[in-house]
Amino acid sequence: MKKVVVTDHAVIRWLERQYGMDINAARAELAELARPYLEIGAKHAPIGNVWAVLENGCVITVTPNKPPPSMVHRHDFDTVNGTSVEASEEARRNWEFKNRRKKRR
């Protein structure tokens, strides 16, 4: 059986059109809740029952668990999208290679 790939864009549009969710209202609410944390330069912020990951004035993702203090970038080299599922060994090696390459420059 062939695997079906569904993009994030398709999911968002489906939620809007199938369930009548107002994505722009949700975006505005999240922006208002994150604003005080962005103004003080925080990297993570508790918003409701989740944690927002902040970078360069943007909310870049939302995770169910508090990110570790060492996670000041948006990568998920230890976990998969903020979950407790560990990333594959190949993904970790790839991240480590990119990190070493940056240090050489």
Q: For residue 103, what pLDDT is reported? A: 63
Higher pLDDT, 79 or 23: 23
Question: Residues 12-64: pLDDT tens digits?
Answer: 999 999 999 999 999 999 999 999 999 999 999 999 999 999 988 999 999 99
* pTM: predicted TM-score of the whole model, two decimal places: 0.60
Higher pLDDT, 98 or 74: 98
Task: Give the C-alpha separation, 37 to 74, whole Å.
Answer: 16
What secondary structure does DSSP assign to 24-41, as a single string? HHHHHHHHHHHHHHHHTT
User: Both tokens of residue 15?
Assistant: 């939620």
Helix (H, G, I), strand (E, B) or coil at 70: coil
